[in-house]
Structure formats: C-alpha cells, structure tokens
Structure 1
Amino acid sequence: MNLVKGGFLLTLASLALVGCGSEESSSNNGNSTGIEGDLSFYTSQPDEDAQKLVDAFKENYPDVNVQTYRSGTEEVISKIKAEQKAGDVQADVLLVADSVTFEDLKEEDLLLEYKSEELSEIPSNLVDPDGMYAGTKVMATALVANTANVEEMPDSWNILTDETAKGKTIMPSPFYSGAAAYNLGVFTRNEAFGWDYFKSLKANEMTVTKGNGAVLQAVADGEKSYGMVVDFIVARAKAEGSPVELIYPKEGVPVITEPIGIMKDAENEEAAKAFVDFVLSEDGQKLAAEIGYTPIRKGVDAPEGLQTIDEMNVIDADISELYQAKEDDKKEFETIFGQ
C-alpha cells in the first residue's frame, strides 16, 4: 500500500514538473516573450514609417508599450541634449539619420554598448566597432526632378547651379535634417564641390526648406523643378504616381545609414536590445524594404527603383572630421544662406 501510494505521489510530482516545463516553454514562444514595460523610442523617420516599425515590433513583443517621439534629427538631438542637461534623458532607443550624430553622442558618453547577434549579417564598415550604434539601412541623397517641368533629365549635380534652373531648386536645411547636415560636410570636403558649390547654389537662388519631405512636395507639385533629397522618398512617390524622377548624379552621392543605438541610462534596457535586434533582423530588414528603404542586411533585396550600395558611386569623408566640424559647417552655411 505504501509503495502504491509513493508511486502515485511520484507520478503527480512528475506531471507537475512536466506542466511547469510546458508552461515555461510556451512563455518563450508565440507572443509571450517575458519582455515588457514601457519603451521610449526617439526617431527622425517619417511618422508613418516609424509607426509601421513599432507595430511590427509589437507583434513580436506585445507586452512592450512603445512611446514614440518623432522630429528631424537635429531637433531630436536638441531634445536629448536638453534632457541630459536636466539630468533625465527620456529616450531608451534612438534611430536617426547619420553616424556623425551618433559619434557626438558617443563622445559625450550617452550611448550603451550593445553588440547584437544580428550584426554578423551587417557590413562591418557600417557598424561602430565599439558597439555603440549600427546602420539600419542605406539612404543616398540624390536629385529629384519634376517630369512635367523637365524634358531632358540631368545626370549631374551641376544642374542645381545652372542658369536654366535659377530659382527652380530646393534643398533641406542642415539645421533640421541630419542627412542635410551630413551632406554639407561631405560635399564641402570633396574637391569637385567645396564651399564654392554652396555659394553657387545661393547665387542660383536655391530655396532652403525644413526637411526632405518638404523638398519632395515642392518638386512633386511643380513649384520647383529640381531638388536635393534622400532617394527612398522619391522612389516611393514615383511608384504612387507622382510626376517625379530619381537621378543618381554621375559625380556620386553621399550616403547615410540611419543608425540605431541604445541610450546609456535606458530605463528598459532589455526591451531596447530586443528593439535593436528586431530592426537588424531579417524580418526587420524585409519590413524596411517593404516600406521602401534599401536594406543594410546582406541577402535582402532593395526595392524597385533604388540602387544598392554596391551600385552607388559613394562620396564620403572622414567621420571623425565631420563630427568635429559639424557646428562650424552649419555656421558657414548660415553665413552663405542666412538661415
């Protein structure tokens, strides 16, 4: 009798352990990840794109409540710097335009080192070697032309300084757009352009507006004939029927990678790491391509109408030099354009 009773109790105990094991296993599959809480996401991505990214992340991590702050890169960083001064940076994870901006944050010891396992599929030259940030996509700044206003499409940046385009051109401001700030540094350090090119842009009555979206809108509406703008929004607008053409000038294009990083004092570090992992994962990169970006991950194709980084003639400059000179560059731009 005691043997039977003992065997019965042992069986119950075994079933209980199996049940616990099954419950634990199920909590790590499907929609139960164990990662939860609030996540503060600061980004310069367009609102709709940022929301698609957040929605896709939440399908995998439904217990994470993502709160998004979105503006131009320069304004996002100004907000972070103001929060830093107040002693309480609110952002957990940051995704903005360019690596120069992240170098600034890295220098100020505002970033957390995190080397995601997904980095093995990202080109190493597009990742910070110290693990503070990593590129998430490839975004070139190219030319956009209005197909109703322009009969013969140009193949050179020189169209923006040509007499025939006087008063018909537009570009984003480096005081708002991180891509524009990066481009300014790259162009002015390239001997084919330099500061004389920007003086010529001013002389040819180049309009400077707040961001890339405003540039595209002005060209699409026919208000301007040519613009300097990030490539993906042109390809997207053209696919939707807008009268615009994307042109990669023969002299080459500056490229940003819209890096992602985690703030050093992130309140929800676990969720922030999961967010970075998702953005760099195959699923996250396929989502980027579906939205219209050129993915940075190996093996994920670029959307129709966009060049891959292997196809681009990239013009660049030393990142550390760009970082050191960024504010001086903007002051010189202000002197020329009176921003």
Structure 2
Amino acid sequence: MRKGISLIVALVLTISLLAACGQASSKDKGAASAPKGSTKLVVYTPNSEDIINTLIPMFEKQTGITVELVSAGTGELIKRLQSEKANPYADVMFGGSHALFMGNGDLFANYVSPNDKDLMEGHRNETGYMTSYVSDASVLLVNKNLVGDIKIESYEDLLNPKLKGKIATADPASSSSAFAQLTNILLAKGGDYTSDKGWNFVGSLIKNLDGKISSGSGAAHKSVADGEYIVALTYEDPSASYVKSGGPVKIVYPTEGAVFLDAVAGIVKGTKNEDNAKKFIDFIISQPAQDAFGTQLTNRPLRTNAKLGSHMKPMSEIKVIKEDDKYVREHKKEIVSRYTDTFTKLQK
C-alpha cells in the first residue's frame, strides 16, 4: 500500500514539474518574440543637414531612443514607403509637403499629438495623420547694396522698369519654390488661380524678367546674395540664412500677402515602433524643438509661443493669405502649362 502511495506521489510530482517547465518555456518564448521597451526609431527624411544635426541629437538625448536615418528626396521616400507598404521599414516620415501627404494618406497612421493644441491656428492636425512642424513662405529677397532708391515692398513694385532684367526667379515647371511663387502671385493679384487679372499681372512680370530664368531655386537667391541681381522671387528659409549670417540682403513679405506652406511629419502605418514614433511627433512640436527651429535654424516654427531670432519677422507682422491646397494639387499641370504658354508667347 505504501509502495502504491509512493508511486502516486511521484507521478503527481513529475506531472507538476513538467507543467512548470512547460509554462516557463512558453513564457520565455513569448518574451523573445515580443520584446518590450524598444529604443529604436527609423526616420525617413528629406530634410537638410542643419535640421537633422540640430533636432535628432536633441531627441535622442531627451528620450534615449536611437534614430536610424534614411535621407533622400521626398518623392523617392514616398515611392519607397509605397513599395514597403505590406512590411514597413520606416516608423516616421519627417518632412514633405502638406499636398504630398494629402495624396498619400493611406501610408500614414492616425495620431494627433497632445502638443498639437499649442500650434498656431490654421496649422493644426486636421487630417488626423499629419503634423505640421515648420512653415515656409514665398518672399522677395532684396540686395541692399544694389536696390538704391527703388521701392520694393510688393509684387506690384516688381513691374518697375528700373528692375527689368534684374529680377531672379526659377522656372515654375521645374522648381517647387517658383511654382509656389506663381500660385502666391495669382492668389494675391487675382484672388484665385484662373482670373485674367492675376494672369495679366504674371504676363507683365514675365516681360520685366527680360527672358532671364535662373537654373534653379538655389541659383535665384544666391544670385541676389552675390550681387548679380537686385531682387529674387524665392522662399523664406534660405533668405533668412543670408540675413542670419550677415549678408547684404533683406527679406520683403509682399504687401499683397504671402502664402505659408507647411512641412509635415507622420507616423508610417504598420510601424514596428509606434510608441517611439509618437514620442518623435510630440518632440518636433515641443517647446525646445520649436525654439531651436526659430533661433538656431532658419525654419519658421509653428508653436504659438516659439522663440524667434532677429533674422525672422513675427508672423503677426506679416499679411498671410491661405492657399487652396486641394485645388492647386489637382490643377498643377494646368497652371504650369498656362505659365509656360504665356512665357513662350512673350518671348517672340
């Protein structure tokens, strides 16, 4: 009887030990397949080295997260996201236009940062999936050494005969900043993108260009900073760089109104590091990051209380007009075609 009892006890103990081992093995397997507390973040970005070298170390130091950067042109990165849609490599797309994100909304996950409420009105996350962090405006860059007594405060002033052949601009068909200037002018001078009033002004401006078109957006603002041209149709970021470095130039925001276009970021749908991606979005519109944009860099921050350096004019002192993103995105080819036709006809 005792022998039978001993066998039963031994059998129970053996079963218990096997069960315990099985539970331990199962727990170990689960821990290996779903590690917690990832400290990695993969960021796709078309941004400049200045932005990357300023913002990424700040984020890594603040969070302890290690960022892997993949830098390329915006279009190339979007194509890569599309090809990786079933198994994304990136966690965040840091940079790109509002219009580009709108056309590729299926690539991004919904997330509205708690810091979004601190952004200026008109720049908050209304789509659910893209967060604006800086904005850039169409401006006029004027060489102070060459302008003399010529008044340049508006687009209208560019029709001054004294400026004929002395205005630098790129081709809207190949330059995104030149295209932004074109739509800004049409809106500012005509009230929309199709009115004869706006296009007649564009025709008059083309005549005053005297057939001179810069090879690209960079050549346009550089030619003014270098003293080759009096004024350039360009954008705020590089213009502010010249002012910040003490160049002989000044920025003019057209009195008819300037359009500000946002650079945005978003979390890639299917990200493997969602918590870290959310932290990154929170960070780029946090007070320290936005202050860095406005003081250390030359990108206009969008947080209402962000600090600005002396190289940047407060938004409250600029007349701002709002672009119809959807219309411009859907009719870009038509707008470019009409400009090209107008330019060609006026060269005869």
Pairwise same-fold verdict (TM > 0.5): yes
Could you say which residue in structure 1 is the equivalent of 2:21?
none
- Alpha-carbon offset, residue 206 of structure 1: 4.4
Q: 1:322 aligns with which of 328, 334, 346?
A: 328
2:55 is aligned with what amino acid? L
Return the offset for 1:58.
1.9
| Aligned equivalents of 1:86, 1:78: Cα separation in 2 | 12
TM-score normalised according to structure 2 size: 0.75
Q: 3-state DSSP class of the match of 2:255?
A: coil
Paired residue secondary structure (1:306): coil
Q: Do the aligned residues in 2 keep the contact of 1:97 with 1:178 (CA within 8 Å)?
A: no
**One-letter code aligned to 1:217:** K
Aligned to 1:244: 249
Give me the whole-angstrom Cα distance separating, in 1, the residues matched to 2:232 and 2:270: 39
Q: 1:166 aligns with which of 164, 167, 170?
A: 164
Q: Aligned pair 1:195/2:194, yes or no?
A: no
Equivalences for residues 124-163 of structure 1 within 5 A: 124-152=121-149, 153-163=151-161
Partner of 2:109: 112
1:142 positional shift: 1.1
SS at match of 2:136: strand
For 1:159-238, list aligned pairs within 5 A: 159-174=157-172, 178-190=176-188, 191=190, 194-203=198-207, 204=209, 205-211=211-217, 213-238=218-243
Counterparts of 2:263 and 2:176, CA distance in 1: 9
**How many Å separate the matches in 2 of 1:58 and 1:337?**
49
Kept in 1, the 8 Å contact 2:184–2:323? The answer is: yes
1:39 equivalent in alignment to 2:51: no
Instruction: Give yes or no for contact 2:173–2:340 (8 Å, CA) kept in 1.
Output: no
Change (3 A) 1:79 1:97: closer
Letter of the 1:42 counterpart = T
- Residue in structure 1 matching 2:287, options 273, 282, 285: 282
Partner SS state of residue 207, structure 1:
coil
Equivalent residue, structure 2, for 1:254 = 259
Note if contact 1:112-1:261 (Cα within 8 Å) is conserved in structure 2: yes
Q: Distance in 2 between matches of 1:113 and 1:184?
A: 33
Change in Cα spacing, 1:63 to 1:255, as seen in structure 2 (3 Å) is closer
Q: Report the aligned-residue RMSD.
A: 2.8
SS at match of 1:66: strand
Q: What is the DSSP-based 3-state SS (H/G/I as helix, E as strand, rest coil) of the residue aligned with 1:125? A: coil
In the TM superposition, what is the alpha-carbon distance from 1:168 to its structure 2 partner?
A: 1.8
Distance 2:253 2:269 in 1: 38
SS in 2 for 1:49: helix
2:43–2:91 CA contact under 8 A, matched in 1: yes
* Structure 1 residues 142 and 168: CA distance shift in structure 2, 3 A: same
1:101 aligned residue? 100
Distance 2:199 2:89 in 1: 38
Shift of 1:128: 3.2
Change (3 A) 1:132 1:197: farther
Question: Residue 168 of structure 2: SS of its match in structure 1?
Answer: strand
Distance 1:206 1:132 in 2: 41
Task: State how far apart, in whole Å, the 2-side matches of 1:132 and 1:329 are.
Answer: 28
Q: Which runs of 5+ in 2 are unaligned?
A: 1-35, 192-196
Deviations 1:186-227 (A, max 9, x none): 43244166233333333323424433x433211111122211
Q: Which runs of 5+ in 1 are unaligned?
A: 1-32
Q: Secondary structure at the match of 1:307?
A: coil
Q: Distance in 2 between matches of 1:333 and 1:91?
A: 38
Match of residue 303 from structure 1:
309
1:170–1:207 CA contact under 8 A, matched in 2:
yes
Determine whether 1:292 maps to 2:298: yes
Question: Distance in 2 between the 1:183 and 1:255 partners?
Answer: 11
Post-superposition Cα deviations, 1:277-313, rounded to whole Å, max 9, x if no partner, equal: 1101011111111213332112223221422222210
Instruction: Evaluate the alpha carbon distance shift between residue 300 and residue 148 of structure 1 in structure 2; reply closer, same or farther with a 3 A threshold.
Output: same
1:70 positional shift: 4.2
How has the CA–CA distance of structure 1 residues 87 and 235 changed in structure 2, closer, same or farther, with 3 Å as cutoff? closer
Distance in 2, matches of 1:95 and 1:37, equals 15
How far is the alpha carbon of 1:96 from its aligned partner? 3.5
Letter in 2 for 1:202: I
Structure 1 counterpart of 2:278, one-letter code: K
Distance 1:82 1:202, change over 3 A: farther
Paired residue total? 298
How far apart, CA to CA, are the structure 2 residues paired with 1:90 and 1:334? 40
